[in-house]
Structure 1
């Protein structure tokens, strides 16, 4: 399956097929929702335009954002923290990522995909902007159905990201090079983030004073022999630094966990006469 489609959005419908939709719908929505509201008849026209663009976005995602989610979606939408499962309970504040706020993340693809898996497994919806190389092979088909990937967001990646944070649970925005977003440049995106329900993860890009900074370092690979085999699992050392709390760290296992090998029994003693 080819994931890289320039200037298009890719939505994973199943493990064997994808739908491709022109990204102009999201770009138009970003431009319309970010402009100042005129008065009089022009205001009504603008409102109608935004409604039409949001309808197109709903068609892209298959459902209206307010109706997203599975059996656990109500719990996900109400929480101030986007929970990530038991492995993250003692590492991240509240066991997850803060909603309506920015998390800086190191460029650790395996850790990001593990977070996507934890969210989509319980009915959450996620978006990934600007990361064509990211592999979603670890996600089962039912989870791929809840991923919106925009590998090439065009000339307004922040605008596209701003649209997605209004309706999804997590949005990952990645830049190839390190980019420092000034307060003025980040203000429209952060305003939409506060009004929406998403947690926003920045990989490569930074904003002043993020709510959380997470780094991941792969410590060990498993499953490969001496020149043969394939990786079946790995351990990632994760460190989390909240804005106003002490840092915490721990190990997150992705894939197959290390097998516990019992210590060999002591050899039996043989009496020789």
Structure 2
């Protein structure tokens, strides 16, 4: 995984242990340009990925997804150079990251230090950039990453609703880039797509015993002129289960 902290770019192992780090700053201590940052990120990702050349996955206007997600989304994927509003559902985001990176794409997550990447394979981690603490410039960081990657997730702890004027810089960067921008807790006017997911069932647990082995997510997507019935997405092992859990004293 490529972990970005401030101007430092850190290569980490699968357990999060730093392997090596490099500064984004130039020899003169100046902040590099946006183009330089993108070029360096691409070089770091290629190094993590064994030197493989980065190629855009899917068609010109969409980042393709598979399975039930493809069935519920317009054109079978996420629209490039546009914003998709996504509910705060970590398991859905991780599944999107998994599908995109294992298909050969590159992804980034900005502003989500609590997100667990444990379900991602080594290959997927090598194609993922994490900016867990972007500070006050999360939108700028997401905009820079959108110029060179396939999917960028912008997350904030609290809900933020942008006015058209406030959203304009972000939307301009997204349109100028290549990525599908997924906004979680960040609302922009007239997003191209809205996705939401709710847990429908837990697998591997019932009658007061067992462990959660998987979950069913009911995923919905809405866009202008597009509405399909919700899709049921199973993550983990499907073994039959319960629709809700209740905490009890130990």
| TM-score > 0.5, shorter chain as reference | yes
Unaligned segments of structure 1, at least 5 residues: 34-49, 260-273
Corresponding position of 2:139: 158
Corresponding position of 1:241: 222
Aligned residues: 232
Aligned match for 1:61, one of 19, 22, 45: 45
| Aligned-partner SS, 2:230 | strand
Q: Assess, with a 3 A threshold, how the Cα gap between structure 1 residues 121 and 225 changes in structure 2: closer, same or farther.
A: same
Q: Assess, with a 3 A threshold, how the Cα gap between structure 1 residues 154 and 24 changes in structure 2: closer, same or farther.
A: farther
The 1-side partners of 2:130 and 2:190 are apart by 27
Q: What RMSD over aligned residues (CA atoms) do the two structures have, in Å?
A: 3.0
Corresponding position of 1:92: 73
Following superposition, the deviation at residue 247 of structure 1 comes to 4.4
Aligned match for 2:197, one of 190, 204, 216: 216
Following superposition, the deviation at residue 191 of structure 1 comes to 1.5
The 1-side partners of 2:3 and 2:13 are apart by 16
Following superposition, the deviation at residue 84 of structure 1 comes to 1.1
C-alpha distance after superposition, 1:12-57 (max 9, x if no partner)? 55456445757865x945xx44xxxxxxxxxxxxxxxx54x44443
TM-score by length of 1: 0.74
The 1-side partners of 2:120 and 2:173 are apart by 28
TM-score by length of 2: 0.81
Corresponding position of 1:45: none
Corresponding position of 1:194: 175
More displaced stretch, 107-116 vs 222-231: 222-231
Counterpart mapping for 1:1-273 below 5 A: 7=6, 11-14=11-14, 17-19=17-19, 21=21, 28-29=31-32, 32-33=33-34, 50-51=35-36, 53-62=37-46, 69=54, 73-74=55-56, 76=57, 78-258=59-239
Following superposition, the deviation at residue 58 of structure 1 comes to 3.7
Contact 1:12 1:146 in 2 (8 A): no
| Aligned-partner SS, 1:222 | strand
| Aligned-partner SS, 1:89 | helix
Higher helix share: 1
Unaligned segments of structure 2, at least 5 residues: 241-250
Higher strand share: 2
